[in-house]
Amino acid sequence: MEISENILHQIDHFLLQHPFPLKEKELVFSQCFNETWFSNTLAWLLNPKGSHNLGIQFTKKFLEKIARIRTENPEKYARKETLLKWGKKGRGVSSKTFSLKNAATVREFYFAGSIERGQEGGPRYCDIMLLDLDTSDGLAVVIENKLFTSNRPGQLESYYLLAEKSFKRAKVREYLYLTLFGLPPLQHGDGTPRLLKEWVCMSWCHDILEILNSFPDNRHEEVVRLQKMLSWMAELGKASSSNLALNLHTMLLQSTAVLLLEELNRLGEGKPGEWHLHRKSDHGIVLIHTSAPKRLLFAELLPNLSLVVQSRSSNRALYEKIYIPFGLNSDQYFNILDITARNIYHLHFQKPDRYLADRRRMNSSVTPAKKRMLPVIEYLSRHKYMLQIILATFKFRGEIQS
């Protein structure tokens, strides 16, 4: 508990040094710090007829930024006739050739059709499509926006193949992977790294903020709000407290291990075997039951700090992941842990009744581990949005691996 309290003091000190610049902090966090709000806001900015009073200027600079990044990093990104370029040299289409006055944005664009037989169930909805399909233009930009999550296996490859097929008549088909700090897509083992070179990586806290700051006379309320939010996150990313996110990540895993172990063993009291901490991994903790040593129970943190639990045998998942949301108040967090522990028994063992004690209902009293961890859980609930952002800002520096 002393270690947890020290980490909480570190977080408090850090937040005092970097106060949030907007009023109604909790309301802004709950409404705005999610991928949906950021995607909606970007789609609005890219709409030349939007109420932001920027006309085509934001969209124009947005395309220029993509073209510059792609052109200036030839070893990192693909270059070909159907992609944007900056300058006169090399393959591609200049970003300055589009009028953009009739451009439109679509949220959650659905790609119809399948890539090939057997792949009909793949990802189909991209976050944003920027379209300017006038006869003289012919532009389709696929935008995947990731704040607190990462691309799923095959997701970007699927979007690329579907967009190439759906918009093959457009002279430019461009691809953007947008994160808080310009993180590259994850290269999953079943993906195609070659296709990921089509995706330009862009940062909200650097690239988008730079574009917004180039319009000093625009005082639209939503534009100013976004500027202040991105500036604040950019400062967090530059902060010198390099161990803070790592300590927070470790504390969350340790807290989970203590509480989950206690509840699992309480439910199995008087029955054969018991649960132990088997090992810690880069992504989470691994628990083992002495009566079923070949079945391992993995508890892992998602990028948004929520927890997933799953049993595996010989690296084969035994059931779908059980999801435990981050930031619940203590009563609901303890209750969902109790429910999760019971579900684990039924899913982990072939004969759960052999290991799950009789008449073990949800525990109404506060157990020793829960009593020790109560201040930590309440703190995490009060500051859940801020803590998600702290981890996201440090993650791009490689201190936390997805």
Per-residue model confidence (pLDDT) at position 402: 40
Instruction: Specify whether the CB–CB gap between 61 and 211 falls below 8 A.
Output: yes
Residue 292 pLDDT class (50, 70, 90 cuts):
very high
What φ, ψ does residue 35 adopt, rounded to 5°? -65, -35
Instruction: Report the percentage of the chain scoring pLDDT > 90.
Output: 45
Residue-wise pLDDT for 126-164, tens only, equals 999 999 998 777 999 999 999 877 788 888 988 999 999
**Mean pLDDT in residue range 229-240:** 80
pLDDT value at 355 more than 90: yes
Cα–Cα distances (Å) from 272 to 137, 259, 275, 348, 367, in that order, read 71, 21, 10, 15, 22
Q: Which pLDDT score is estimated for 116?
A: 52
**Weakest mean pLDDT among 178-187, 256-265, 353-362:** 353-362
pLDDT at 313: 93
**pLDDT band (50, 70, 90) for residue 192:** low
- Judge contact between 346 and 311, C-beta under 8 A: no
What pLDDT does residue 318 have?
94
Q: Say what the pLDDT of residue 32 is.
A: 82
- Residue-wise pLDDT for 178-189, tens only, equals 998 888 888 776
Our separate counts of H helices and E strands in the chain read: 12, 13
Q: What does the pLDDT look like over 365-383, one tens digit per residue?
A: 678 888 888 888 888 888 8
Whether the per-residue pLDDT at 113 is higher than 90: the answer is no
Residue spans of the domains in the chain: they are 25-238, 244-395
Longest distance between any two alpha carbons in the chain, whole Å: 76
Which tops the pLDDT comparison, 20 or 189?
A: 20
204: Cβ contacts below 8 Å, ≥ 6 apart: 38, 147, 178, 179, 180, 181, 230, 233
- pLDDT confidence band for 361 (50 / 70 / 90): low
User: Quick check: 227 pLDDT over 80?
Assistant: yes
Mean pLDDT across the chain: 85
Q: Cα–Cα distances in Å, from 259 out to 123, 129, 317, 338? A: 36, 44, 23, 9
pLDDT tens-digit readout, 34-91: 889 999 999 999 999 999 999 999 999 999 999 999 999 999 999 999 999 998 888 8
More confident residue, 321 or 153: 321
Alpha-carbon dihedral sign for residues 95, 98, 102, 108: negative
Q: pLDDT value at position 117?
A: 47
Residue 400: pLDDT above 50?
no
Q: Which residue has the higher pLDDT, 31 or 203?
A: 203
Q: What is the pLDDT of residue 211?
A: 96
| Number of C-beta neighbours around residue 97 at 10 A | 14
Task: Yes or no: say if 187 and 144 are a contact pair by the CB < 8 Å rule.
Answer: no
Tally the residues of the chain: 402
Q: 167: which DSSP letter?
A: T
CA distance 174 to 193: 17
Find which of 135-149, 150-164, 269-283, 337-351 is predicted with most confidence, using mean pLDDT. Answer: 337-351
CA distances from 136 to 99, 126, 132, 356 (A): 9, 25, 9, 69
Over 192-236, what HEC string results?
Answer: CHHHHCCEEEEEHHHHHHHHHHCCCCCCCHHHHHHHHHHHHHHHH
Residue 31 pLDDT level (bands cut at 50, 70, 90): confident
d(CA 94, CA 276): 60
